Each structure stands twice: as structure tokens, then as C-alpha cells.
């Protein structure tokens, strides 16, 4: 795989000037755990819980005096933590829901819309409602989802956001460790694929720049039996699927949750 430093070379083989296809992050290979329904419910509700803490901390920050730098720093750190935690939990939940949609195990019941934070744009962000094991999940209505399930809006019942971890599950340690392992396994594969895509992007950019150098006589293509043609695209190796050794347990809580908007 070529890097930007490869541009310093003066000669190149045609084989190394082959374009590479980027990995589709939506197709990260995973294995669905047997207790997926319960884990997704917990992950969704924990994301709500952390998002609520993010909002609360942001509101507290506005009331802190500019002179109280230590308190402001403490709240800023909490805000970053809660926001990131809620984001990765929602990202993981959404990824698995899309997998279930693609496999035909769930369907979109309908859609709801919510105003964007950018009020001047008057943009309405659409969300898909996906029932699964008695729980109505909400995920962003991507063009791919809308193309598969016709757009029609419905009304849903809004319920309270968890105010404490015990509102989600009585055993806080089991709740946090289960969701943490679930998210960590997904994020590990996601980061690996994202990292490979960065390398692939650098390689493809370098290939195009090298062809420009060859065209301008600034570099030489080593002659081969195969004539120069448009660079081919080859697929890269995929990552290994997640293996779940978690002991399955019964779904014990089925709650609907309030619409959350996150970036």
C-alpha cells in the first residue's frame, strides 16, 4: 500500500498503482449475540440516561461564574464524557438495528420528525420507529431505510427518560459491564475498518498523483507485458466477526423511550 512518501520515488511498477476499494462501514462483519434484544434495550436506555446527564451538565455550566475555572473545567470534562458515551451507545444500537433491517428480522413501523437544532434552516430530521421484542427503537431515517420502507408519519407515546441506572436494571454492575462490552466489541471493529479506510484513501490519492507525475515525465512506469490501463479496483480483506461468549439472559424490561437527537 502506497503512502504520500511514495511520491519521492522515481520509478513505479504497475501492480503497485492499483486502486483499492474502501470498506463499507455499514457492512462490518458481526455475530448477533443470543441476548441481543435485552442488550439493545439496555444500550438504548443507557444512551438516554447519558444524554440527559449531558443536557443537565450543559445547563449547570451556564450558571457557573467565569471566575470559577475549576468548576467550569470539571463540568466541561463531564459534558464531553456524557456526550461521547451517549453517541457511541447510540451508534452501536443503530448499527445493529440496521443489520436486523437488512436481514428482514424487523421492519419500520413508521416515521417521526423532529426540528433540527439549526432553527433558521427549518430542517426536519426524520427518525424511523422499529419495534423489536416489545420495545420501540428510534433510529435516524437514512436514505437507505426510506428507500426500503415507504415514508409515512405516525404518532408515538413518549415515556420518561431513565433518571437512575436502577430505572433500567436493578443490577447496575451487570448493566454497565454488559453494555460496555457490547459497545467496545463493535467500536473495535469499527475503528479497525475506519483506520483501514484512511490508509486506502491515502493510497488511492497517491496513485492518482503518481500517474500525474508519470504523465508529466517526472516519474517512470516500469515496462511490463500488460499495457497501461485505467487502474483496477481491488477489494481489501475484511475484519473478523465479533464472537460473543456472553451467557444469554431473559429480557426483563421492555420500555419505550423518548426521542433523542444527537450528532
Give the pLDDT confidence score for residue 67 in this predicted structure. Answer: 86
Band (pLDDT 50/70/90 cuts) for residue 25 is: confident
pLDDT tens, residue by residue, 142-201: 999 999 999 999 988 887 899 999 999 999 999 999 999 999 999 999 999 999 999 999
pLDDT of 240 strictly over 60: no
Distance, CA of 72 to CA of 58 (rounded, Å): 10
Give the pTM. Answer: 0.77
**In the chain, domain spans:** 4-159+173-234
Q: What angle do CA 164, 168, 174 make, to 5 degrees?
A: 100
Band (pLDDT 50/70/90 cuts) for residue 229 is: low
Residue with the larger pLDDT of the pair 222 and 82: 82
Give the pLDDT confidence score for residue 120 in this predicted structure. Answer: 42
For the chain, what is the total number of helices (H) and then of strands (E)?
4, 7
Maximum separation of any 2 CA atoms in the chain, in Å: 74
CA distances from 237 to 3, 19, 77, 184, 196 (A): 19, 14, 38, 22, 10
Band (pLDDT 50/70/90 cuts) for residue 27 is: confident
> Is 45 within 8 Å of 166 (Cβ atoms)?
no
> Is 149 within 8 Å of 12 (Cβ atoms)?
no
Which of 65-69, 137-141, 180-184 is predicted least confidently? 65-69
Residue with the larger pLDDT of the pair 255 and 78: 78
Q: How far is CA 137 from the centre of its chain?
A: 16
- To the nearest whole number, what is the mean pLDDT of the chain? 86
pLDDT tens, residue by residue, 241-261: 555 455 555 554 445 444 444
Amino acid at each position: 500500500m502506497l503512502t504520500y512518501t511514495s511520491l519521492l520515488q522515481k520509478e513505479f511498477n504497475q501492480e503497485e498503482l492499483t486502486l483499492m476499494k474502501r470498506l463499507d462501514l455499514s457492512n462490518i462483519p458481526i455475530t448477533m449475540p443470543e441476548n441481543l434484544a435485552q442488550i439493545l434495550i439496555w444500550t438504548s436506555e443507557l444512551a438516554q440516561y447519558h444524554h440527559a446527564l449531558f443536557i443537565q451538565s450543559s445547563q449547570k455550566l451556564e450558571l457557573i461564574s467565569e471566575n470559577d475555572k475549576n468548576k467550569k473545567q470539571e463540568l466541561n470534562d463531564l459534558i464531553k464524557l456524557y456526550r461521547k458515551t451517549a453517541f457511541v451507545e447510540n451508534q452501536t444500537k443503530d448499527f445493529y438495528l440496521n443489520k436486523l433491517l437488512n436481514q428482514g428480522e424487523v421492519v419500520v413501523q413508521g416515521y417521526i420528525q423532529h426540528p433540527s437544532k439549526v432553527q433558521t434552516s427549518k430542517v426536519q430530521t426524520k427518525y424511523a420507529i422499529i419495534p423489536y421484542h416489545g420495545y420501540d427503537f428510534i433510529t435516524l431515517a437514512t436514505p437507505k431505510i426510506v428507500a426500503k420502507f415507504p415514508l409515512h408519519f405516525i404518532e408515538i407515546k413518549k415515556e420518561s427518560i431513565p433518571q437512575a441506572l436502577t430505572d433500567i436494571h436493578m443490577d447496575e454492575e451487570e448493566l454497565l459491564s454488559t453494555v460496555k462490552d457490547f459497545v467496545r466489541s463493535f467500536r473495535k471493529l469499527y475503528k479497525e475498518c475506519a483506520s483501514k479506510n484512511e490508509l486506502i484513501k491515502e493510497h488511492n490519492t497517491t496513485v492518482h498523483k503518481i500517474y500525474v507525475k508519470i504523465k508529466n515525465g517526472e516519474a517512470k512506469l516500469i515496462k511490463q507485458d500488460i499495457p497501461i490501463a485505467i487502474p483496477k479496483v481491488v477489494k481489501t480483506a475484511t475484519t473478523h466477526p465479533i464472537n460473543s461468549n456472553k451467557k444469554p439472559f431473559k429480557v426483563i424490561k421492555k420500555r419505550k423511550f423518548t426521542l433523542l437527537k444527537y450528532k
